[in-house]
Amino acid sequence: MVTMAGFYGLDESDLDKVFRLPTTTFIGGSESALPLREIISRLEMAYCQSIGVEFMFINDMEQCQWIRQRFERPGVMQFEEFLQRKWSSEKRFGLEGCESLIPALKTIIDKSSMNGVESIIMGMPHRGRLNVLANVIRKELDQIFCQFDSKLEAADEIGFTTDPRVARSSSYPTDVAKVVNAPIFHVNADDPEAVMYVCYRRNGHNEMDEPMFTQPLMYKQIKKQKGVLQKYSEKLLAEGAVTRQDYEEEIAKYDKICEEAHARSKDEKILHIKHWLDSPWPGEYMAFGSLLKEGTHIRLSGQDVERGTFSHRHHVLHDQNVDKRICIPMNHISPNQAPYTVCNSSLSEYGVLDFHNTAQCIIDQFICPGQAKWVRQNGIVLLLPHGMEGMGPEHSSARPERFLQMCNEDPDAYPKFSAEEFAVRQLYDCNWIIVNCSTPANYFHVLRRQILQPFRKPLIVFTPKSLLRHPEAKSSFDDMLPGTHFQRLIPDSGPVCEKPEGVKRIVFCTGKVYYELTRERNNRGMDDTVAIARIEQLSPFPFDQVKVETHRYPNADLVWCQEEHKNQGYYDYVKPRLRTTVDCTRSVWYAGRGPAAAPATGNKAAHLVELQHFLDTAFNLDAFTFIP
Claim to verify: residue 256 and residue 216 sit in the same structural domain: yes
List residues bridging with 558 in a β-sheet. Answer: 506, 588
User: Phi, psi at residue 501, to the nearest 5°?
Assistant: -70, -20
Q: H-helix or E-strand containing 451?
A: helix 440-452
Residue 361 has pLDDT above 60, yes or no: yes
CB atoms < 10 A from the CB of 614, how many? 21
CB atoms < 10 A from the CB of 350, how many? 13
List residues bridging with 318 in a β-sheet. Answer: 326
**Terminal-residue alpha carbon distance, the chain:** 85
Rounded Cα distance, 312 and 383, in Å? 14
Return the CATH number at 539: 3.40.50.11610
Claim to verify: residue 167 and residue 223 sit in the same structural domain: yes
- For 50-104, what is the HEC assignment? CEEEECCCCCCHHHHHHHHHHHHCCCCHHHHHHHHHHCCCCCCCCCCCCCCHHHH
Q: List, in sequence order, the alpha helices (H) in 115-215.
A: 129-135, 141-147
Task: Decide if 324 is inside a domain.
Answer: no
Claim to verify: residue 517 and residue 411 sit in the same structural domain: yes
Task: Decide if 178 is inside a domain.
Answer: yes
Rounded Cα distance, 532 and 549, in Å? 10
What is the per-residue DSSP string for 290-327? HHHHTT--EEEEETTTTT-TTS----SEE-SSSTT-EE
User: Phi, psi at residue 43, to the nearest 5°?
Assistant: -65, -40
Question: How large is the average pLDDT for residues 1-30?
Answer: 75
Claim to verify: residue 54 and residue 107 sit in the same structural domain: no
* Residue at which a domain ends, from 265, 282, 302: 265
pLDDT digits (tens, 9 = 90+) for 284-324: 999 999 999 999 999 998 888 888 877 788 899 888 888 88
Task: Decide if 325 is inside a domain.
Answer: no
CB atoms < 10 A from the CB of 302, how many? 20
Question: How large is the average pLDDT for residues 146-155?
Answer: 43
- Who wins on pLDDT, 44 or 496? 496
Claim to verify: residue 36 and residue 92 sit in the same structural domain: no
Range from 151-165, 337-351, 577-591 carrying the lowest mean pLDDT? 151-165
Claim to verify: residue 120 and residue 51 sit in the same structural domain: no
pLDDT digits (tens, 9 = 90+) for 234-261: 877 888 888 888 888 887 887 887 787 7
Residue 197 has pLDDT above 50, yes or no: no
* CA dihedral over 283, 285, 288, 289, signed as positive or negative: negative
List residues bridging with 343 in a β-sheet. Answer: 301
List the domain range (segments joined by +) for residue 36: 12-72
Rounded Cα distance, 301 and 383, in Å? 10
Q: H-helix or E-strand containing 400?
A: helix 400-405
What's the pLDDT score for residue 90? 52
User: In sequence order, what are the residues at sequence separation of 6 or more whose Cβ sits closer than 8 angstroms to the Cβ of residue 221?
Assistant: none
Question: How large is the average pLDDT for residues 470-495?
Answer: 93
Residue 155 has pLDDT above 60, yes or no: no
What's the pLDDT score for residue 348? 60
Task: Decide if 328 is inside a domain.
Answer: no
pLDDT digits (tens, 9 = 90+) for 216-231: 777 677 677 777 777 7
> Do 572 and 549 meet the contact criterion of CB atoms below 8 Å apart?
no
* Residue at which a domain ends, from 265, 300, 328: 265
What's the pLDDT score for residue 603? 85
Claim to verify: residue 40 and residue 165 sit in the same structural domain: no
| Per-chain mean pLDDT for the chain | 82
Claim to verify: residue 484 and residue 504 sit in the same structural domain: yes
Half-sphere exposure of 196 (CA within 13 A, CB side): 25
What's the pLDDT score for residue 210? 67
How many structural domains compose the chain?
A: 3
Task: Decide if 276 is inside a domain.
Answer: no
What's the pLDDT score for residue 451? 95
Range from 75-84, 253-262, 450-459 carrying the lowest mean pLDDT? 75-84
What's the pLDDT score for residue 202? 57
Could you tell me the pLDDT band of residue 55, with boundaries at 50, 70 and 90?
confident
Rounded Cα distance, 363 and 351, in Å? 12
- Who wins on pLDDT, 84 or 387? 387
Claim to verify: residue 52 and residue 93 sit in the same structural domain: no
Highest mean pLDDT among 27-41, 290-304, 561-575: 561-575
Range from 103-112, 340-349, 436-445, 547-556 carrying the lowest mean pLDDT? 340-349
Question: How large is the average pLDDT for residues 503-507?
Answer: 98
Residue 127 has pLDDT above 70, yes or no: no
Residue 563 has pLDDT above 80, yes or no: yes
Claim to verify: residue 143 and residue 59 sit in the same structural domain: no
Question: How large is the average pLDDT for residues 64-81?
Answer: 65
Highest mean pLDDT among 26-30, 37-41, 458-462: 458-462
List residues bridging with 509 in a β-sheet. Answer: 534
Claim to verify: residue 478 and residue 547 sit in the same structural domain: yes
In angstroms, what CA-CA distances link 247 with 82, 258, 518, 559?
Answer: 17, 17, 55, 63
Query: In 403-419, which positions are buried (b, 16+ CB within 10 angstroms) versus exposed (e)?
Result: bbeebebebeeeeeeee
* CA dihedral over 590, 149, 437, 366, signed as positive or negative: positive
Rounded Cα distance, 458 and 366, in Å? 10
Task: Decide if 5 is inside a domain.
Answer: no
Residue 6 has pLDDT above 60, yes or no: no
Give the three-state DSSP class for 7: coil
Range from 81-85, 126-130, 232-236, 587-591 carrying the lowest mean pLDDT? 81-85
Rounded Cα distance, 127 and 150, in Å? 10
Question: How large is the average pLDDT for residues 18-46?
Answer: 84
Task: Decide if 320 is inside a domain.
Answer: no
Task: Decide if 311 is inside a domain.
Answer: no
> Do 577 and 407 meet the contact criterion of CB atoms below 8 Å apart?
no
Q: What is the CA radius of gyration of the chain?
A: 30
User: Phi, psi at residue 341, to the nearest 5°?
Assistant: -110, 115
* Residue at which a domain ends, from 21, 37, 72: 72
Residue 270 has pLDDT above 80, yes or no: no
The pTM for the full model equals: 0.68
Give the three-state DSSP class for 383: strand
Claim to verify: residue 116 and residue 220 sit in the same structural domain: yes
* Torsion angle (degrees, nearest 10) of CA 225, 226, 227, 228: -100
Measured CA angle at 208 (ends 611, 435), to 5 deg: 50
Identify which of 63, 49, 65 has the alpha carbon closest to the alpha carbon of residue 186: 49
